[in-house]
Structures are given as C-alpha cells and as structure tokens.
Amino acid sequence: MTAVQTSSRPPLFTNHNDAPPSISHSMWPGHMVGQREQPVRVFLVDDDSHIRRVIAQDLMGDSRTLLVGHACSLREARKSIQQHDFDVLMIDLNLGDGDGLDLLELVQGTHPHVQSIIVSSTERDEKVFKAFEKGAVGYLLKNSWFGDYAQAVLQVANGGASITPSLAKKILSLVSRSQTYVVSASNCSKEEKLSEREIEILKLIACGYSSPEISTHLKISTMTVSTHVKNMYRKLQAKTRAHAVKAASLRGLI
C-alpha cells in the first residue's frame, strides 16, 4: 500500500478525532444539531474540580452547547441524572467512589438516546475499551488543549464518533483473535463481522493517520470515515452482547 498524502485543507473535519472544525457560530449549518435556540444539552461527571471548571467554561462559552448538570462522584451522578434530561454525557471512568462504567451502563438503560464521551488520562486503559463496548462513541484525552470539549460534544451529537490508535489496534487484535480462536468466521453473524474496508480504516488509524488523510487515501469523505468508525463500535457492541448471551446460555442462565 502506498503512503497516504496529507491534505492540508481537509474538506470538513480537521483534527485526528474527526471533530468538527472550530466553525464560528454564525457559520454553523442550520440543519446540524446544536443551534442557538436549541443547544446540545450536556451532563458532566468528573471528580477533578479543575477539569470540571475548564469543561464547564468551554461548554458555556459556546452557544451551541449547554451544561445542564454536573456531578463529582458516582453517587451524586446516580441521583442527578434522573432529574435531568440531556443529549450528551461526558464521563471520567475513574471516579473516586466507584467505576464510571457502571454509570455508563445505567445511562444506556435509562437514557438510550444519550451519546457518551469518555474523558480519560490514557487511551490505553482497559476501561476505555470496555466503555466503547458498552456504547460510548466519543473519547477525549484529559488535560488536552482546551477548546476541544464543545467540539467533541457537537461531533457526537451530529452522529460522529472518535477513535484512538490504541483502540483501533485493540479492535484489530480482537478481530484476528476471534476469527482464529474464539469464534470461527462462519459463526460470526454479518452484524458483528468487520468489512475489509473497516479493517483497512482501522489499520490506518492504528498507524496514526488522521481522518482527512484516510479519506484522501481511500477516496471517501471524512463523514464516511466517521460512519465506518461508528459502525465498528456498533459491531463491537453487538459482538460483546452476542458473547454475553452465549456465555450466559452456556452457564445455563438463559
């Protein structure tokens, strides 16, 4: 495969996370989610008060996003999310009094329309991978340069998804393992099997190529790259669900 050429002016998205560029509010297209009169509502869970302040400042500084509530612990979050209606959940997985994954599962059950973004200091954490298996679609590196938070919220609210190189490699190893050892290719339903194109995209992401570079190389739009990433998450979740069902039936639970 030949090397990917960088596009200096990508068509829509600019950064590695496939996030929408910093389009000024007046230029924000009318058909996209996140309008001044109907901003994207966000609920934030993080035990670090510094980060909470920074994220809150960033979200409140953008008229397309609105922070409707925040919590500093798992306990507080469990109580508060029942009282709020929101579109996007931003969550740190390492909370002082418990595991953020439990909350993620709870929100997936009670607020199925909510898109979740993980805020974590490392993308290699096993929990991050599990969070994507449990339905998260966005990822933000903690202590990243500020200005990313509102963009990340708008990205997932508009059907986008982000992925990191480590996560891509992990999915690739899972795919090759399941095809070799765990589940034979014929046992994989079409719903959970990754396509050639999806594997190709994962490989390029694992090598550090950005969405605009991948779209240029594969001659597809950055939106299509994003759609492929979201499909991969859907299949990953389906695979996890299928394995859970299979494991439960083997144990005689169902």
Partner 1 sequence: MESLRDIGWRETTRFIQAITILSWCFLTRLRDQNWFFVFSILVAFSGLLISLHHIPGIYRVIKARLRSSAQPSKEVQEERKRIASDLHDTLGSQLVEALSLMNSQSSVEDSPARKVLEQSLLDLRLIVDSMDAQSDNLAMRLARLRYRLAPVLQRKGLVLHWQLTDPELEVGLHTTLPLPRDRVAHEILAVVQASLSNAIEHADATEMWLILEPYQKGDLQSFGWDWYLSIEDNGKGYDLRAVLNDPSKSGHGVINMFHRMRNIGGDLHIHPRHGGGTQVLMRWRCESSSLS
Give the nearest distance from C-beta 75 to partner 1 in angstroms. Answer: 20
CB atoms within 10 A of CB 89: 25
- Strand duo 98-99 + 115-120: pairing: unpaired
- Please state, in angstroms and rounded to a whole number, the distance separating the CA atoms of residues 186 and 239: 14
> Is 207 a binder of partner 1 (CB under 8 A)?
yes
Segment interacting with partner 1, rule: CB under 8 A, options 34-42, 95-103, 165-173, 225-233: 165-173
Q: Does 213 bind partner 1 (CB under 8 A)?
A: yes
Q: Does 17 bind partner 1 (CB under 8 A)?
A: yes
The rounded distance, in Å, linking the Cα atoms of 248 and 246 is 5
Identity (one letter) of the amino acid at 118? I
Q: Which two tokens stand for residue 212?
A: 């605009």
3-class DSSP state for residue 207?
coil
Residues 6+ apart with CB under 8 A from 140: 17, 90, 117, 118, 119, 120, 148, 149, 152
> Under a CB-based contact definition with an 8 Å cutoff, are residues 119 and 140 in contact?
yes
Rounded least distance, CB 164 to partner 1, Å: 6
Residue 195 as a binder of partner 1 (CB under 8 A): the answer is no
Pick from 31, 112, 113, 145 the residue near partner 1 by CB under 8 A.
145
Q: 38, 60, 147, 244: which one contacts partner 1 (CB under 8 A)?
A: 147
Only one of the segments 25-33, 129-137, 143-151, 241-249 lies at the binding site for partner 1 (rule: CB under 8 A); that segment is 143-151
Instruction: Dig out the tokens for 215 from the structure.
Output: 């779209």
Q: How far is the CB of 248 from partner 1 (least distance, A)?
A: 32
Residue 254 as a binder of partner 1 (CB under 8 A): the answer is no
Calpha distance 243→222 (Å, rounded): 31
Supply angle C-alpha 25, 29, 35, rounded to 5.
60
Other C-beta atoms lying within 10 Å of the C-beta of residue 237 = 17
Least CB distance to partner 1 at residue 17 (A): 7
Dihedral sign, CA of 41, 102, 130, 91?
positive
Applying CB under 8 A, among 164, 178, 216, 226 the residue interacting with partner 1 is 164
Positions in 33-52 near partner 1 (CB under 8 A): 48, 50-51
The answer to whether 141 and 163 have CB atoms below 8 angstroms apart is no
Is residue 110 close enough to count as binding partner 1 by CB under 8 A?
Answer: no
| 149 binds partner 1 per the rule CB under 8 A | no
Q: How far is the CB of 71 from partner 1 (least distance, A)?
A: 17
Q: Closest distance between partner 1 and the C-beta of residue 253, in Å?
A: 34
Least Å from the CB of residue 176 to partner 1: 11
Tell me which residues touch partner 1 (CB under 8 A): 1, 3-6, 8, 14-17, 48, 50-51, 53-54, 57-58, 121-124, 141-148, 164-166, 169, 172, 203-210, 213
